[in-house]
Amino acid sequence: MRITLAQVGGVLGDVEANLDRAEQAVANAVEEGSELIVFPELHLSGYSIGLIDEDLSLRADDRGLRRIAKRAGDAGVVLGFVEDGPGVHTYNSAAYFQDGHLVHVHRKLYLPTYTVFEERKHFTPGPSLRAFPAAEDTRMAILVCNDAWQPQLAFLATQDGALVLLVPASSAQSQFPERYDSKTYWRDITRFYARMFQLYVVFVNRVGTEGDLHFWGGSHVVDPWGEIIAEAPEDVEHLLTVDIDLTDVRRRRRAIPLVKEARLALINREVHRLLDEGGDQ
């Protein structure tokens, strides 16, 4: 499978300009024969939506999203946007389109509320995590940025059949605590997941600046052995195209079956025990 990591920036609050940028990136990726194009978190709105008075939310079937999906032809595409969800809810969402049709929407599950990040103020946490069918008869799952800092989610995605873990992000190195380096943390996280859950991890980070936030890029792909096989440069827009072999996932899992025996009933019992003892609902 040929994948393009669309490491792009964005104009905060200018959805139309960002849609145009995404459409051009998709066109370039399709020319390179890409079968999947993945964009960063919230690339269609910009990240710091609290600085914008206008409503930036879109429905998952918005004509602008469908326009990009149609431009991708039979390729898959992952788009990050502010979703006008059911009822009163607004989500930080990533939608997967295939053959021009909406297949899956992942709504970010864990919303940071520390230092300059105030996502819980603007978004509702997503209700569920699901792997979904994708190109080449495979299954994938999406974890949006801070979701990937919750190892249980990568475990659940793996048990739901994911062979590829897609991680759209808006990771910035600004105003963080001592001993924190965003780039090192992310490489440690993605390599750990790839090695322990024996799948491909596709990390797509944005670039650019919004206020005090400096988004550093560094998008990369990790193979099922935990090796980074392709990496974009930092601090510049870049379309990184890489070929992956999905049979490597099955080969790796057959050689060393780390994920085959998850003992879900055991985990279910212990989770319910923790809930009964007053754990987080």
Q: What is the CATH number of the domain that holds 232?
A: 3.60.110.10
The answer to whether residue 172 scores a pLDDT higher than 70 is: yes
When pLDDT is cut at 50, 70 and 90, the band that residue 118 belongs to is confident
d(CA 10, CA 208) in angstroms, rounded, equals 7
Least confident stretch, 161-170, 206-215, 227-236? 206-215
pLDDT average, residue stretch 18-33: 98
Q: pLDDT-based confidence at 176, cuts 50/70/90?
A: low
227 lies in some domain: yes
pLDDT of residue 108: 98
Structure confidence at residue 223 as a pLDDT band (50, 70, 90): very high
271 is a domain residue: no
In contact, 55 and 15? CB cutoff 8 Å: no
Among the residue ranges 45-49, 77-81, 173-177, the one predicted with the least confidence is 173-177
pLDDT digits (tens, 9 = 90+) for 184-207: 999 999 999 999 999 999 999 999
Does 224 reside within a domain? yes
Domain count, the chain: 1
177 pLDDT tier (thresholds 50, 70, 90): low
Q: Is the pLDDT of residue 34 over 80?
A: yes
**Res 174: pLDDT:** 61
Handedness of CA 141, 146, 148, 152 (dihedral sign): negative
Decide if pLDDT at 281 tops 80.
Answer: no
Q: Would residue 261 count as lying in a domain?
A: no
Mean pLDDT, residues 243-247: 97
pLDDT of residue 142: 99
Residue 113 has pLDDT above 80, yes or no: yes
pLDDT of 51 strictly over 70: yes
Task: Give the pLDDT band of residue 178 (cuts 50, 70, 90).
Answer: low
Indicate whether 179 pLDDT > 80.
no
| 196-to-109, 185, 208, 213 alpha-carbon distances in Å | 22, 16, 32, 31
The answer to the question of residue 280 being in a domain is: no
- For residue 175, what pLDDT band results from cuts at 50, 70 and 90? low
Domain annotation covers residue 263: no
Residue 86: Cβ-neighbour burial (10 angstroms; 0-12, 13-18, 19+): exposed
CA 96 vs. chain centroid, Å, equals 10
Residue 116 has pLDDT above 90, yes or no: no
The domain of 101 spans 2-255
pLDDT at 129: 98
- Picking from 124, 125, 141, 111, the residue whose alpha carbon sits closest to that of residue 249 is 141
pLDDT given for residue 146 in this prediction: 96
Least confident stretch, 2-6, 58-62, 135-139, 263-267: 135-139
Residue 274 lies in a domain: no
Yes or no: say if 134 and 36 are a contact pair by the CB < 8 Å rule: yes
pLDDT at 143 over 80: yes
Write the DSSP string, the chain: -EEEEEE----TT-HHHHHHHHHHHHHHHHHTT-SEEE--TTTTT-S-GGG--S---B-TT-HHHHHHHHHTTTSEEEEEEEEE-STT-EEEEEEEEETTEEEEEEE-S----STT--HHHH-PPPS----EEEGGGEEEEE--GGGGG-HHHHHHHHHTT-SEEEEEE--B-SSPPTT--HHHHHHHHHHHHHHHHTSEEEEEE-EEEETTEEEEB--EEE-TTS-EEEEPPBSS-EEEEEE--THHHHHHHHHS-SSS---HHHHHHHHHHHHHTT---
* Inside any domain, residue 65: yes
Mean pLDDT of the chain: 95
How confident is the model at residue 277, as a pLDDT? 93
